[in-house]
Structure 1
């Protein structure tokens, strides 16, 4: 397949991709999971915002689980490639992101009360998709935080998914200069003290800052496009985690590494970036290795040279290779 060239990226995205997507897009709202979670007296539910894109001659359905502080529109180029290859695409936005419901009034803060809300909401969206297309295989494409959410969803309902693609999944997040045990301990303490909606120390509200050089992408026009969209739309300005989110990320990590790997039945592709500042590479390798040694399925592990955390935000031959891996995997019917 043909990847959009950096030198003409804006022109192609505006003149070709945007109208192509608009002609196939529908905006949906799906009720979130009705579940008491941690506080039965505070039963918060809301609506999940989801974009639907319909391929001309579908052979399957892709559900995308986006990453931390991301939104559905960040995946316009990704969606375009899937559509061109014959897949319907659905992108539900996780709680606290995009136009989905939020648990805090601060548009910059990513907050969640329990990690189970993410999973149950995502599975509610997947149930809607499967009901709409019962005869088409459902494949999962999940990035970063979305890789943790999608990875657990695929463990809870393994029979729902035909293939699972995890791109830089958050099997265990990195916590900068603070050791992982200390960071999780601080999160637990803050939540016990009722400070779960506070910004994690050192984090701040959205201020329009950020630079390509320190970003998770290697393609400047791809990075700049979303930075511009974020500046224009308040619902895209999610920026920093709360202590509640930090605790949820730790609990998702524990579940993935202790239990989820045992439950998968769908073939899995896990793609690791060469330069990784946000998730633990060691955790990725251990996770894939455990599945291949002791699990019920196979996990193809790919180390992508010349990439950073947002592998889909790469350029040129590297991006072509990334998509070649993905589509070859989707069309391979191997079983363990």
Structure 2
């Protein structure tokens, strides 16, 4: 699928797009760009969260290019313009997060390392942050540094993150219901729900812009998660929150948490950061889950933290 271009969200100039195949033969969509300046500071790889797609980050990609970075992005399997896992393309499904690890490896080996300028940095949101953290223990590391926006370490709320919910998802999967929507779930794309009452952002313009992308290309939309996804996500979150995990992270990491996050647990982000040897965090007050889709005043705080952490950004001169 080509990148979707709409007046409110034009494709950044100079895009190179294509498809790659993973080791288990899934097809993934990717895109990459050169910087708009001559600085040549390396490459930032952008990794989306659940139900997201490359087009949603065009604004962010432009801001990275203006800083002097090349940018590369992909759609995880099962979402965006990549191959879906079930016959119903609206179901957000995965059997195990190790499948996402294969996506990351294919992307790095077939797109980033051959065609993008080092050094390599990562910018990941939510589910993407979990995937990057879990892969940050490998040697050699893929990235020099990584910035994680509201990483998915635990779900918000005691009920959502309880062992009971995880155990129930496992039982339902074992009796053949893993491909079913979570209770109350539907095929309605998360991005096209009303702005009023949403838990993602306080910015109506960016919220509606993302809706318009789905309106222009419904194939990008993804509905609720499946029971199988919920179980797999629970396993991945347990892994990163295990007491032995934090000291083994090899990539310097900045986690940016949202002060009013109702999707993932900000407390879990703070807890993990305190246990990491080469990790830190900040909390942006009042921000909701999608920090990079937030109001300008909130996004400015994110970029100030990014610029202070990633070598070559404006604060480094």
TM-score by length of 1: 0.84
Q: How does 1:1-336 map to 2 (within 5 A)?
A: 14=7, 18=10, 21=12, 23-34=13-24, 45-56=25-36, 57=38, 58-133=40-115, 136-157=118-139, 159-174=141-156, 177-178=159-160, 180-206=162-188, 208-258=192-242, 259-291=244-276, 295=277, 297=278, 299-331=279-311
Q: Is contact 1:63–1:140 with CA below 8 Å preserved after alignment? A: yes
Q: Is contact 1:63–1:126 with CA below 8 Å preserved after alignment? A: no
In structure 1, C-alpha distance between the alignment counterparts of 2:280 and 2:312, rounded to whole Å:
12
In structure 2, C-alpha distance between the alignment counterparts of 1:212 and 1:127, rounded to whole Å:
42
Unaligned ranges ≥5, structure 1: 1-12, 35-44
In structure 2, C-alpha distance between the alignment counterparts of 1:133 and 1:27, rounded to whole Å:
12
Q: Is contact 1:158–1:263 with CA below 8 Å preserved after alignment? A: no
Q: Kindly tell me: are residues 18 and 135 of structure 1, through their superposed partners in 2, closer, same or farther at Cα, counting changes over 3 Å?
A: closer
Q: Is contact 1:97–1:110 with CA below 8 Å preserved after alignment? A: yes
Post-superposition, which runs of at least 4 consecutive aligned residues in structure 1 deviate over 4 A? 175-179
Alpha-carbon shift at residue 133 of structure 1 (Å): 4.8
Q: Kindly tell me: are residues 187 and 175 of structure 1, through their superposed partners in 2, closer, same or farther at Cα, counting changes over 3 Å?
A: farther
Alpha-carbon shift at residue 25 of structure 1 (Å): 0.6
Unaligned ranges ≥5, structure 2: 1-5
Q: Kindly tell me: are residues 104 and 54 of structure 1, through their superposed partners in 2, closer, same or farther at Cα, counting changes over 3 Å?
A: same
Q: Is contact 2:199–2:263 with CA below 8 Å preserved after alignment? A: no
- 3-state secondary structure, aligned to 1:193: helix
Q: Count the aligned residue pairs.
A: 303
| Structure 1 or 2: more helix by fraction | 1
Q: Is contact 1:104–1:111 with CA below 8 Å preserved after alignment? A: yes
In structure 2, C-alpha distance between the alignment counterparts of 1:189 and 1:124, rounded to whole Å:
32
Q: Is contact 1:95–1:101 with CA below 8 Å preserved after alignment? A: yes
Q: Kindly tell me: are residues 234 and 176 of structure 1, through their superposed partners in 2, closer, same or farther at Cα, counting changes over 3 Å?
A: farther
In structure 2, C-alpha distance between the alignment counterparts of 1:227 and 1:215, rounded to whole Å:
15
In structure 2, C-alpha distance between the alignment counterparts of 1:46 and 1:135, rounded to whole Å:
26
Superposition CA RMSD, Å: 2.1
In structure 2, C-alpha distance between the alignment counterparts of 1:157 and 1:226, rounded to whole Å:
37
